[in-house]
Structure formats: C-alpha cells, structure tokens
Amino acid sequence: MSDANKALVRRHFEETFNRPDYAAGAETVADDFTEHAVALFGQAEPGRVNGPQHIRRTAEWLLAQFPDLHMRVDTIITEGDLVACRVYSEGTNVGRLNGVMAPTGRRFAGWQCHWFRVAHGKLVEHRAVREDLPLMLQLGVLQPPGSGPR
C-alpha cells in the first residue's frame, strides 16, 4: 500500500501542476476532501471542499501566476495512510500575484513539505508548510531588512 500511496502523490504533482492535466484531479483526489493549507495571502484554511474542483482551482490560480511552474517531489515517506513529501518548486512570475499585484517577471525556487492522507486510493486530506518569506524576497515583493534607503 505504501508504494501505491507514494505513486498517487507523485502523480498528483506531476499531472496536476507540471503538465497540467486537470482531469487527473478527479482520479487522484476524493470528492470529500479536507484542505488544511492556507493559500499564499490567504486568511483561513478552506476546510472541507470538493476535492477535484478545489485542486483544479488551486492549479489554475498558481499557473496563472507562474505558467512555467514545476514541482519536483524530492523526498517521500509513508506510514499507514499518511504520505509526507518534500517538494522543490520553481517558476517565473508573469501573472498577477494573487490576482492583485503586478507581475514581477522574476523567478523563484523553494521548498515545501506536504502531508496527505489517503483513503480508498484517493487523496482525502492535505496539509502544507511553505517557504513563503524567501519566495516574496526572491520575487522582489519584500525587501530584506537593511536593504532599503537609509
């Protein structure tokens, strides 16, 4: 089961974000899905959502901002119905950040950790920890302390 769960998570990133194949969401994510990850600039966890619709909206939102986004699963481990992975993401900001801020035209590269729970061969729950501060610094949205005018 652990190899199948690892393959499911790898497929999720490859097909949903790297290709993208939005139909894959219906095959990899359960309709009854719990999202604990707060989106960049978000205020709260989405909670219980329709999984395929949520994943599609998330991918479309990210790819509108970073059309060349690529996510590589670097390390992946399982225990029971849980899968944890370390993902390296990179892309160029050519779309409006969160639909609000003008594109910076700059690249980012960084790590996230994702945790999924799997049931009946589909992803049913997700948590994530991202490096949002380095992302904002790389994109030039924020300036490091002491780097501005004195």
CA 70/CA 72 separation, integer angstroms: 7
Query: Tell me, what's the pLDDT at 18?
Result: 96
pLDDT value at residue 60: 94
Per-residue model confidence (pLDDT) at position 149: 63
Torsion sign (Cα): 93, 98, 99, 101: negative
Whole-model pTM: value is 0.90
The residue ranges of every structural domain in the chain are: 2-139
CATH topology of domain 2-139: Nuclear Transport Factor 2; Chain: A, (3.10.450)
Which of 26-30, 38-42, 97-101 shows the lowest mean pLDDT across its residues? 38-42
* The pLDDT value given to residue 96: 94
Asked if residues 81 and 117 have their Cβ atoms less than 8 Å apart, the reply is yes
Residue with tokens 């409006």: 96
**Sequence-separated (6 or more) residues with CB below 8 Å from residue 3:** none
Residues 107-135, mean pLDDT to the nearest whole number? 96
Give the distance from CA 111 to its chain's centroid: 10
Cα separation, 78 vs 100, in Å, equals: 38
Phi, psi of 87 (to 5 degrees): -120, 135
**pLDDT at 88 (0 to 100):** 98
What percent of the chain is predicted at pLDDT more than 90?
79
What's the gap between Cα 16 and its chain centre?
10
Decide: 93 and 1 in contact? Cβ < 8 Å: no
DSSP secondary structure of 63-100: HHH-TT-EEEEEEEEEETTEEEEEEEEEEE--S-BTTT
User: Tokens 């609000």 map to which residue?
Assistant: 100
31-86 pLDDT tens trace: 999 999 887 767 788 889 999 999 999 999 999 999 999 999 999 999 999 999 99
Mean pLDDT of the chain: 92
What is the reported pLDDT for 14? 96
- The predicted pLDDT at position 99 comes to 83
